[in-house]
Amino acid sequence: MGPRLPRALTRLDPLTVDRALAVVLTVLAQAEVWLGSGDHPAVAAFVAFVSTASIAVRRRLPALVGIVVPLLYSLQLGFGGDPQIIVASVGYFCALYALAVWTTPRGFALGMAFLVGSFLITSFGPKGSLGNTALFSVVEIVVVLLVRRVVGDRERRARLAERERDLAAREAVVEERARIARELHDAIAHNVSMMVVQAGAERRVLDGDGGTREVLETIERIGRGALTEMRRLVGMLRSDAADSLAPQPGLGDLPTLVAQVRESGLPVDLLIEGERRELPVGIELSAYRIVQEALTNALKHAGEARASVRVRYEPESLELEIVDDGAGAAVPVASGGHGLVGMRERVALYGGRLDTGRRAGGGFAVRVLLPVR
């Protein structure tokens, strides 16, 4: 139970945490103001409210919060006295943190200028003290600059890394979709070519029926036009590298794939359930590629392990299950490869369901359901 709590806390939305903290501190600060004995409680309550409530928006408006809160504090301290509100001071330091960490260079420079100006207001106000304020302001400016340098740079690097990961993920999706489109083009083009060839052959051997000849001629002409347009369309997706001219694989090629993986060092068991039947060429190809990607991930990351592949033919669907018992089975998610991305795109193409994750007893499992319509 203990290790789960920190992980749950790290998954909380920072904006939600800020809003909850703002509500709690605002209530406590107002109670401290009105139950205390400070001067000018109405002014103190207003400054305390702005200081604590601003925590809720400090990530979205860091420069504004970093300017307004210190300025109000300086006006209060310089002209209205020090009410000694401890809770509201948390909002003050949160505002300085927002100014140091989340502002742009221009916003930070503007905020620092206002911060220095607020110190001057405090120093030369009716109740200000030049010596105390100067010492406090120098220490505060140095701390803000240090936080800006250390924490701010780390935050900016983290945001940059996150954007790069998002960009890489989008590029991986585009790359996988282009690859799937090329493979489907090759498979569909083969079937359409067979239709065109058969229609042309049948037309040539017919002697009499002119109507049938015209129908077959129309089928042949439309089929050839479709092939031309498909080649033109998918030609835009072709990379400079030459694509393989080998026929696209299907479920009938799984025994060969399993044998190759065994030779590479991963023991694999293959189990076929249900009556084997011919499926649409796209589903056959997608199922083969999913099994291939899952076994490749297991071969790379599972370590010393065994794997099993189960293919089940249902009346309305095709089910796949690829599992291994390796200790390192959780690695593929963070490995930088595009295997899981490719599986997800292929399953989504046919409106199926994909479940991946660690098994309770150790290892990794990939479960797929592809509707067959």
Indicate the number of domains in the chain: 3
| Same domain, yes or no: 107 and 219 | no
Q: What is the CATH number of the domain that holds 352?
A: 3.30.565.10
Task: Please identify, among 235, 260, 281, the residue that sits at the C-terminal boundary of a domain.
Answer: 235
Q: How confident is the model at residue 332 (pLDDT cuts 50, 70, 90)?
A: very low
pLDDT value at residue 55:
93
Q: Within a domain: residue 40?
A: yes
Among 206, 235, 264, residue at a domain's last position: 235
**In terms of domains, do 121 and 184 share one?**
no
Closest CA to 58 of 110, 100, 116, 88: 100
User: Which pLDDT value is given to residue 303?
Assistant: 74
Distances, alpha carbon 188 to alpha carbons 38, 181, 185, 248, 297, in Å: 82, 10, 5, 10, 28
Rounded to whole angstroms, the Cα distance separating 308 from 297 reads: 13
Asked if the model's pLDDT at residue 136 lies above 90, the reply is no
Question: Which pLDDT belongs to residue 72?
Answer: 87
Same domain for 223 and 307? no
- Angle in degrees, CA 289, 294, 300, rounded to 5: 125
What rounded mean pLDDT belongs to the chain?
78
Q: How would residue 255 be classed by pLDDT, with cut points 50, 70 and 90? A: very high
Judged by average pLDDT, the poorest of 29-43, 204-218, 304-318 is 204-218
Instruction: Examine the domain organization and report whether 359 and 334 are in the same domain.
Output: yes
Domain shared by 365 and 333, yes or no: yes
| Residue 310 to residue 273: CA distance in whole angstroms | 7
- Does an H or E element contain 221, and which? helix 210-235
Residue 144 within a domain: no
Q: Last residue of a domain, which of 128, 158, 190?
A: 128
Specify if 143 maps to a domain: no
pLDDT over threshold 90, residue 319: yes
- Above 80 in pLDDT, residue 193? no
Residue with tokens 């489109």: 181
Q: What is the mean pLDDT of residues 50-75?
A: 90
Pairing of β 268-273 and β 307-313 = parallel
Count the neighbouring beta carbons within 10 Å of the beta carbon of residue 308.
Answer: 16
Letter for the amino acid at 188?
Answer: I
**What are the Cα distances from residue 40, in Å, to 24, 36, 43, 85, 86?**
23, 11, 6, 12, 16
More confident residue, 82 or 292: 292
C-alpha to C-alpha distance for 260 and 264, rounded to whole angstroms = 6
The more confidently predicted of residues 292 and 340 is 292
Domain assignment of residue 133, yes or no: no
Measure the CA dihedral 235/296/287/363, to 10°: -150
Burial per residue of 100-137, b for 16 or more beta-carbon CB atoms within 10 angstroms, e otherwise: bbbbeeebbebbbebbeebbbbbbebeebeeeebeeeb
The answer on 74 and 17 residing in a single domain is: yes
More confident residue, 135 or 358: 358
User: Edge to edge, what strands does the sheet with 353-358 contain?
Assistant: 268-273, 307-313, 317-324, 364-371, 353-358
How far CA 213 is from CA of 194, 222, 224, in Å, comes to 18, 14, 16
Strand 353-358 versus strand 364-371 pairing type = antiparallel
Vertex 180 angle, CA 357 and 330, to 5°: 15
For residue 276, pLDDT over 50 is answered with yes
Parallel, antiparallel or unpaired: strands 268-273 and 317-324: unpaired
Compute the distance between CA of residue 166 and CA of residue 341 in angstroms, rounded to an integer.
Answer: 13
| 44 and 114 co-located in one domain | yes
Is residue 158 included in any domain, yes or no?
A: no
Q: Tell me, yes or no, whether 229 and 290 share the same domain.
A: no
Residues 194 and 267 in one domain: no
Residue 274 sits at φ, ψ, to 5 deg, of 90, 175
List Cβ neighbours of 13 (8 Å cut-off, separation of 6 or more).
none
Q: Is residue 276 part of a domain?
A: yes
Quote the domain boundaries for residue 200.
172-235
Indicate if 220 and 270 belong to the same structural domain: no
- Considering the domain architecture, whether residues 103 and 199 belong to the same structural domain is answered as no
Question: For the residues 77-104, what does the mean pLDDT come to?
Answer: 80
The answer to whether 223 and 257 have CB atoms below 8 angstroms apart is: no
Angle (CA) 200-203-209 rounded to 5° is 160
Residue 323: per-residue pLDDT: 92
Cβ atoms within 10 Å, residue 284: 20
- Asked if the structure places residue 151 within a domain, the reply is no
Residue 264 located in a structural domain: yes
pLDDT in tens, 259-275: 888 888 889 999 999 88
Categorize the per-residue pLDDT at 355 as very low, low, confident or very high, splitting at 50, 70 and 90: very high
Bigger pLDDT: 170 vs 295 = 295
Same-domain status, 324 and 349: yes
In the chain, % of residues over pLDDT 90: 20
Closest CA to 318 of 366, 247, 373: 373
